[in-house]
Amino acid sequence: MPRLPDGYSIAIFDSIDSTNEEARRNATDAADRTVYWAKRQTAGRGRRGRSWMSEPGNLFVSLLLKPDLPLAQAAQLSFVSALAVSDVLIKAGAGDRVALKWPNDVLVDGAKICGILLEASSTGARVDAMIVGMGLNLASHPADTPYAATDFANAGLGDVDPDTALTWLLEAFELRYAAWRDLGFASVRTDWLIRAYRLGQTIQVMLGDETVVGRFAELDKTGALVVETSPGVTRHITAGDVYFPGAI
């Protein structure tokens, strides 16, 4: 049984369709900082409706949060969550092998080890509930992905069980979440950029039927990706899929 930070509660499932779906089903009645943890998912999802491999031994968890913020600001939780996961990996010994790929992937040695999916419930201008889903590869990873993937065991980070990983993750998340609430996005942005994957290098951003190519310049003060498409000309992108020539 994982240890929970003060103010958190947990619902545990041997098997469920999706922890994000369970959080969504309970978003109205459940308390802030309710954790939904499944040993196995039968219909795990990633961004843009993609399926997420949910083999036993990995960590599948969703946090139900009620931050009472505008949607654009609440979306910054993807960076808060990614930093928390990177803190866990560093605790496990990954060190500077950890990198963060915009907007919400966590990498070790350039290979994806964790995906993060944010979903919001809102009836007006402010978010009623934000669901932060995280899938962390501990014991296995998919082999048939269009990008490199890895897991704790494959990356030489030891045999970390889901209970331990969840304890570490919730501790790290609460510290990052509290700092974001108290200090705002500026410190999150600074820490994220320190760990940013391929900062300053050429990237490709897929925007539906458009591809933007340019230099990964920075994040702006809201968390948008800033791409320099030609000298002195930048695009601020709030949603898209990032690829790196010759890499992921």
The C-alpha atoms of residue 54 and residue 151 are separated, in whole angstroms, by 13
**Do residues 122 and 105 share a domain?**
yes
> 212 versus 125: which is more confidently predicted?
212
Segment 185-233, tens digit of pLDDT: 999 999 999 999 999 999 999 998 899 999 999 999 999 999 999 999 9
**Do residues 150 and 234 share a domain?**
no
The C-alpha atoms of residue 35 and residue 10 are separated, in whole angstroms, by 4
Contact predicate 220/210, CB 8 Å: no
**Do residues 223 and 126 share a domain?**
no
For residue 116, the Cα-to-chain-centroid distance in whole angstroms is: 3
Residue 124 tokens, joined: 């007006």
Residue 49, SS3 per DSSP: helix
**Do residues 168 and 45 share a domain?**
yes
Residue 3 lies in a domain: no
Residue 233 lies in a domain: yes
Residue 4 lies in a domain: no
Instruction: Write down the pLDDT at residue 147.
Output: 81
> Domain holding 161: CATH number?
3.30.930.10
What mean pLDDT comes out for the span 154-183?
Answer: 96
DSSP bridge partners of 135: 60, 115
Residue 181 lies in a domain: yes
> Domain holding 233: CATH number?
2.30.30.100
**Do residues 153 and 235 share a domain?**
no
User: How many CA atoms lie less than 13 Å away from 70 in the CB half-sphere?
Assistant: 3
> 231 versus 245: which is more confidently predicted?
231
**Do residues 224 and 187 share a domain?**
no
Q: What is the mean pLDDT of the chain?
A: 91
**Do residues 151 and 91 share a domain?**
yes
**Largest Cα–Cα separation, the chain:** 53
* Single pTM value for the model: 0.92
What mean pLDDT comes out for the span 73-95?
Answer: 96
**Do residues 211 and 161 share a domain?**
no
pLDDT above 70: residue 46: no
What mean pLDDT comes out for the span 113-141?
Answer: 91
DSSP bridge partners of 130: 65, 120
What mean pLDDT comes out for the span 103-131?
Answer: 91
Nearest CA-CA partner of 75 in 219, 196, 172, 214:
219
Residue 177 lies in a domain: yes
In percent, the amount of the chain with pLDDT more than 70 equals 94
User: Which residue intervals of the chain are DSSP H helices?
Assistant: 19-25, 71-74, 77-91, 162-183, 185-194
Residue 248 lies in a domain: no
**Do residues 208 and 186 share a domain?**
no
Residue 248 — pLDDT band, cuts 50, 70, 90?
Answer: very low
Contact predicate 104/98, CB 8 Å: no
pLDDT above 80: residue 49: no
**Do residues 74 and 170 share a domain?**
yes
Residue 79 lies in a domain: yes
> Domain tally for the chain?
2
Instruction: Write down the pLDDT at residue 48.
Output: 45
Residue 13 lies in a domain: yes
Segment 31-42, tens digit of pLDDT: 999 999 999 888
What mean pLDDT comes out for the span 21-32?
Answer: 95
Instruction: Write down the pLDDT at residue 142.
Output: 85
pLDDT above 50: residue 47: no
**Do residues 235 and 162 share a domain?**
no
pLDDT above 80: residue 146: no
What mean pLDDT comes out for the span 171-191?
Answer: 96
Instruction: Write down the pLDDT at residue 44.
Output: 61
> 32 versus 57: which is more confidently predicted?
32
Instruction: Write down the pLDDT at residue 164.
Output: 97
Instruction: Write down the pLDDT at residue 143.
Output: 81
Instruction: Write down the pLDDT at residue 122.
Output: 79
Residues 6+ apart with CB under 8 A from 166: 2, 35, 37, 59, 61
Domain extent at residue 226: 202-243
**Do residues 50 and 109 share a domain?**
yes
Query: Which amino acid type is present at position 171?
Result: E
